Structure formats: C-alpha cells, structure tokens
Amino acid sequence: MYKIAIIMGSKSDEGIVEKAINVLQEFSVDFEVRVLSAHRCPQEVKDFACEARQGGFSVLIAAAGMAAHLAGALAANTTLPVIGIPCSGGLDGIDALYSTVQMPSGIPVATVAVDGAKNAAYLALEIIALMDKTVEKELEEFRNKEKEKVLEIDKQISNKYQN
C-alpha cells in the first residue's frame, strides 16, 4: 500500500487542498494531511521531508501561496516526488506559481496550475499507479467515465444544433 502526504502551508489553503482530498478519497490510497509552514516552522518541514520515506509516503503534495516555498523546502530534503500547488492570494497566485515552479537544477518540483489541487491529486495517483495495479485500473476507469461524459455532451449538443 502506498501513501500520499498533502501538506499545506497554512489553514487558509484548506479550501484548495480539499479538492485534492476529495479526489484521493475516491481511490484506493492512503493519505495524510498536515499543516506545516516553510517559514514559520522550517525545522518541522525539514524533519517531515527527511522522514517521509520511512513514514511510508511515496509522493508529497505541497500547497502554499504567496512566497510558496513549501514545495521547494520539502523537495530539498527528500528524493520522493514532490508536487506543488501554487495557491491564489497575492498577485492572483502568479507569485506562488513562480516560487513553486522555479526550482534549481537537481531539486525538481512538479507544479500544477494555480489552485490546481485536483490535478495534483491525479498526478500523485499516476505516480502511485506505476507501482500499484489497483490504482492504475481505477485511474483507467475514471478516465473512461470522463470520456463517456464528454461524448454524451457532444451527442446532446450535436443533436441540438442539427440542421
């Protein structure tokens, strides 16, 4: 069994992070949610990242706004995949996006769109699916359901505007 950590920089990120939590609850994965600030409790962030592999985690998702150094601080202290969610706030999230995506060589952070918590969860699941056939199958079923929804809408719209 594989486990995903979702770490938010502050409680104000909870509304965004809940979208990732909702996605993960639909799949057969364990996850844990934490609040750790890269600036207010840097030692705890470092300790969490350093101990994450031993704690059974396979992927870390980090959500933070403004300076948004959480994902980078985690990535600097682990070789586990880290996915950053830049959260809107100051400058409509562009500041957080730049802080999350502009990492030095050798310390990668996979970065999703501003407030893109759902895609962070799906990317984490895709990483887990490399090792877990159950999650791989669940993702394939999810994608097929999403495809069917689009094709049904296509059919409805096409029929509505037939000449």
Q: What is the CATH number of the domain that holds 8?
A: 3.40.50.1970
Domain membership flag for residue 146: no
Domain membership flag for residue 69: yes
Which residue, 108, 83, 107, 112, is CA-closest to 97?
Answer: 112
Report CA-CA distances (Å) from 62 to 8, 112, 136, 150.
6, 11, 23, 31
In the predicted model, what is the mean pLDDT of residues 118-142? 98
Domain membership flag for residue 124: yes
Which residue is associated with the tokens 């639909």?
26
Residues 84-116 as b or e (16 or more Cβ within 10 Å = b): bbbbbbeeebebbbebbbebeeebebbbbebbb
Mean pLDDT for the chain overall: 97
- Identify the domain containing residue 75 by its residue range: 3-135
Domain membership flag for residue 101: yes
pLDDT digits (tens, 9 = 90+) for 69-83: 999 999 999 999 999
Task: Identify the pLDDT of residue 109.
Answer: 98
pLDDT digits (tens, 9 = 90+) for 81-99: 999 999 998 789 999 999 9
Is it the case that residue 46 has pLDDT exceeding 80? yes
Whether 30 and 136 have beta carbons less than 8 Å apart is answered as no
Task: Identify the pLDDT of residue 163.
Answer: 80
Task: Identify the pLDDT of residue 89.
Answer: 84
Confidence band (pLDDT; 50, 70, 90) for 2? very high
Give CA–CA dist 162/39, Å, rounded. 58
Domain membership flag for residue 144: no
Task: Identify the pLDDT of residue 1.
Answer: 74
Give CA–CA dist 44/50, Å, rounded. 10
Count of domains forming the chain: 1
Domain membership flag for residue 156: no
Task: Identify the pLDDT of residue 90.
Answer: 77
Domain membership flag for residue 7: yes
Domain membership flag for residue 21: yes
